[in-house]
C-alpha cells in the first residue's frame, strides 16, 4: 500500500519537507491500528485519520509522516459539538475567554490526561504532544515503535 502519493512526495521534497519512507509510514499506520484497538478496549471510539474521511466524535489518531518523529502518532480528542459551541461563543462575544470555549479547552485537557494514562497502561511510549510539537496543545504523542535489533 502507498500512503503518500508520488506527486505529494515530490512537492514536499521540493519545499525541503520530505516525507518519511513508505516503510516508516506503514509502521506508523500499524501502530495507529494498535492504539485504536486499545482505546476501543477501554470503551472509547477511536479512528485513524485519513484524507477525505469526515471526523466523528471520539479519538482521532494521525500518523506523523515527516520530520524527526516520523512514524509516531498524534492522538487527539474530538468533541465537535462542544468545540463549535466554544468557537461560536468566542466569535459572537469577541472574547477569547468565553465560558463555552474555556469548557471545551478543559474537556480537551481532561481527555489528554485520560488518554495518556490509558495508553501508558497498555505499554505505549506516550507524552503530552507539546513536548514534541509546541503547537499541538491538548494532543497526546505516541512515539514510534523502536526497531527490533537484527
Contact 61, 36 (CB under 8 A): yes
Query: What SS3 state is found at 97?
Result: coil
- For 105, residues 6+ apart whose C-beta sits below 8 A from its C-beta are 86, 138
Whether the per-residue pLDDT at 1 is higher than 80: the answer is no
Crossing angle (nearest 10°) for helices 80-93 and 99-121: 150
Distance CA 31, CA 65 (A): 13
Work out the pLDDT band at 135, boundaries 50, 70, 90: confident
Q: Is the dihedral of CA 49, 55, 60, 62 positive or negative?
A: positive
Distance CA 95, CA 87 (A): 10
Work out the pLDDT band at 133, boundaries 50, 70, 90: confident
91-118: b or e for each residue (b if 16 or more CB lie within 10 Å)?
eeeeeeebebbeebbebbeebbeebbeb
Whether the per-residue pLDDT at 12 is higher than 70: the answer is no
pLDDT number for residue 150: 41
pLDDT number for residue 123: 95
53-70 pLDDT, tens digit per residue, is 788 899 999 998 877 777
pLDDT number for residue 148: 45
Distance CA 12, CA 15 (A): 5
Largest pairwise CA distance in the chain: 59
Give the mean pLDDT of 11-24: 70
Q: What percent of the chain has pLDDT over 70?
A: 84
Contact 71, 64 (CB under 8 A): yes
- For 96, residues 6+ apart whose C-beta sits below 8 A from its C-beta are 90
Residue position matching grid coordinates 513508505: 22
Amino acid at each position: 500500500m502507498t500512503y503518500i502519493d508520488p506527486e505529494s512526495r515530490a512537492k514536499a521534497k521540493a519545499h525541503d519537507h520530505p516525507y518519511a519512507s513508505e516503510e516508516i509510514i506503514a509502521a506508523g499506520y500499524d501502530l495507529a491500528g494498535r492504539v485504536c484497538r486499545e482505546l476501543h478496549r477501554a470503551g472509547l471510539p477511536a479512528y485513524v485519520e485519513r484524507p477525505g474521511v469526515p471526523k466523528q466524535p471520539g479519538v482521532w489518531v494521525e500518523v506523523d509522516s515527516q520530520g524527526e518523529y516520523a512514524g509516531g502518532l498524534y492522538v487527539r480528542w474530538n468533541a465537535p459539538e462542544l468545540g463549535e459551541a466554544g468557537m461560536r461563543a468566542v466569535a459572537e462575544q469577541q472574547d477569547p475567554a468565553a465560558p463555552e470555549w474555556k469548557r471545551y479547552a478543559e474537556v480537551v485537557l481532561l481527555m489528554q490526561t485520560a488518554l495518556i494514562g490509558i495508553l501508558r497502561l497498555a505499554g505505549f511510549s506516550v507524552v503530552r504532544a507539546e513536548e514534541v510539537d509546541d503547537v499541538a496543545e491538548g494532543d497526546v504523542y505516541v512515539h514510534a515503535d523502536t526497531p527490533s535489533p537484527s
